[in-house]
């Protein structure tokens, strides 16, 4: 994370990570990839099993130019992720674009698509670090407040590292791009309906003992809706 | 959509649509699939290109046991979607589950995973119907208010039908499932931080002429945050 933009590989460095459609939405600055990944908690991981793709939602964490995934050692999807290249996508929907014609309806969004061959981490310290990164991406500030994984839990967990070199980012912002003829005709409302996610008030567990207050790292999130993904 | 539950194929009818992990989260009632799909606007479509998976976000529309996709006739991903089976996933994240130990952190979510070989629609009426379904899923009430696709636009558009027979649904709700030893130790806050999406006030297009009011089908959405995906 200490690398400067100038020393990092630009986005879309390979044919399969290069955009073929709506190229004007493509970004090249790696900081834009970081921003899309850091604003998310769930990615859609595409693996190939028996020749067919399987797309599953899963949590992740980013550390520099590496993204970490985890799963059960018995997970066929995680096993498949080590046997073939995967595609991994994070998408934020920011609004619905209402146009004057059906074909110009669109979405405002930010999305990142990664191509990589995940690698299993075997070093205990690296594995523990990766799990910390994943938990902190999902629940910032939580790792130090809870019991860390024990040996039995670690033994049942597969931790994968995904190199972020082969990545593309697409972003659409702004209003509809209507045909001039439809604009001239007029009479149809056009614009954007913004969409965002926010956190509601936390719900304590049914088995939480009395007297345990909601910690600052949770409280902070509820009020900070601007930072919500 | 007029079929009753009893005449419809249950979910997870094939090995690749059957759950291998967290089976207790699996659902069998096809109405649960309808609900997950109808609450969404963007799916993650996994296709295979040159032997590697590619996962892209795209809008869709459901009509009964069929899901429609569209894209440019020049889109390599859409072309790939007709050449091989695809996987197509819709996910709603409903909350972050804070546990007393790192390994029990989780998400509350609803997700549907479809496996199918998309089929290109060629009949003009079927194609127009599919585009209506897609626009209405993204922007309910909008189709009749805007200019429909013309011949040139239709010629540039690929419309695919995805059969929903081979589908699985997973749902997680509720609080953390902590180890009894961690509950007994106590002192750690545990619970759920709910997450939801909502629509903000609509933003008229910069080129919208004066006097065109925000239509009821857009206004209705903003106030109805309960229906937000």
Give the distance from residue A78's alpha carbon to the nearest chain B alpha carbon, in angstroms.
11
Give the pLDDT confidence of B124-163 residue by residue, as tens digits: 999 999 999 999 999 999 999 999 999 999 999 999 999 9
Residue of A nearest to B195 (CA): A199
Q: What is the pLDDT of residue A3?
A: 47
Give the pLDDT confidence of B31-69 residue by residue, as tens digits: 999 999 999 999 999 999 988 999 999 999 999 999 999
Q: What is the pLDDT of residue B21?
A: 78
**Would the ipTM clear 0.85, i.e. be above it?**
yes
Does residue B119 carry a pLDDT above 80? yes
Give the distance from residue A68's alpha carbon to the nearest chain B alpha carbon, in angstroms.
15
Tell me the C-alpha distance between B43 and A179, whole Å: 27
Give the distance from residue B60's alpha carbon to the nearest chain A alpha carbon, in angstroms.
12
Tell me the C-alpha distance between B97 and B76, whole Å: 39
Q: Choose among A131, A172, A168: nearest CA to A148.
A: A131
Q: Where are the alpha helices (DSSP H) in A44-179?
A: 76-83, 124-138, 151-155
pLDDT category, B30, cuts 50, 70, 90?
A: very high
Give the pLDDT confidence of B182-210 residue by residue, as tens digits: 999 999 999 999 999 999 999 999 999 99
Q: What percent of chain B has pLDDT over 90?
A: 83
E strands within A11-138?
26-27, 42-49, 52-59, 61-63, 66-72, 86-98, 106-116, 119-120
Q: How many CB atoms lie within 10 A of CB A172?
A: 17
Chain A interface includes B115 (CB < 8 A):
yes
Q: What is the pLDDT of residue A13?
A: 85
Q: What are the residue ranges in chain A where pLDDT is below 70?
A: 1-6, 223-229
Residue A216: helix, strand or coil by DSSP?
Answer: helix
Q: What is the pLDDT of residue B6?
A: 53
Q: What is the pLDDT of residue B228?
A: 40
Residue B63: helix, strand or coil by DSSP?
Answer: strand
Tell me the C-alpha distance between A58 and B212, whole Å: 43
Query: Domains in chain A, start-ordered, CATH in brackets?
Result: 5-195 (2.30.110.10), 197-229 (no CATH)
Interface test with B, best of A20, A43, A50, A52 (most B CBs within 10 A): A52
Say whether A42 and B91 touch across the interface (CB within 8 A).
yes
Q: What is the pLDDT of residue B224?
A: 53
Give the one of A100, A115, A202 whose C-beta lies nearest to B147's C-beta: A100
Q: What is the pLDDT of residue B223?
A: 61
Tell me the C-alpha distance between A180 and A27, whole Å: 27
Q: Choose among B92, B93, B10, B80: nearest CA to B45.
A: B80
Q: What is the pLDDT of residue B155?
A: 97
Q: What is the pLDDT of residue B10?
A: 86
Q: What is the pLDDT of residue A184?
A: 97
């Amino acid at each position: 994370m200490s690398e400067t933009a100038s020393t990092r590989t630009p986005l879309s460095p390979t044919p399969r990570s290069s955009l073929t459609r709506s190229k004007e939405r493509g970004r090249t600055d790696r900081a834009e990839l970081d921003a899309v990944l850091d604003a998310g908690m769930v990615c859609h991981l595409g693996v190939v099993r028996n020749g067919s793709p399987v797309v599953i939602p899963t949590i992740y964490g980013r550390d520099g130019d590496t993204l970490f995934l985890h799963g059960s050692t018995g997970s066929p999807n995680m096993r498949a992720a080590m046997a073939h290249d995967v595609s991994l996508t994070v998408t934020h929907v920011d609004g619905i674009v209402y146009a004057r014609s059906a074909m110009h309806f669109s979405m405002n969004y930010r999305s990142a698509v990664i191509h990589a061959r995940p690698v299993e981490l075997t070093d205990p310290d690296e594995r523990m670090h990766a799990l910390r990164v994943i938990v902190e991406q999902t629940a910032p500030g939580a790792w130090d407040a809870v019991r860390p994984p024990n040996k039995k839990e670690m033994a049942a967990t597969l931790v994968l590292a995904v190199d972020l070199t082969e990545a593309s980012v697409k972003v659409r912002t702004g209003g509809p791009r209507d045909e001039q003829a439809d604009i001239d005709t007029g009479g149809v409302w056009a614009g954007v309906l913004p969409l965002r996610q926010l956190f509601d008030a936390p719900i304590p567990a049914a088995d939480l003992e009395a007297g345990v207050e909601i910690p600052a790292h949770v409280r902070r999130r509820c009020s900070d809706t601007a930072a919500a993904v």
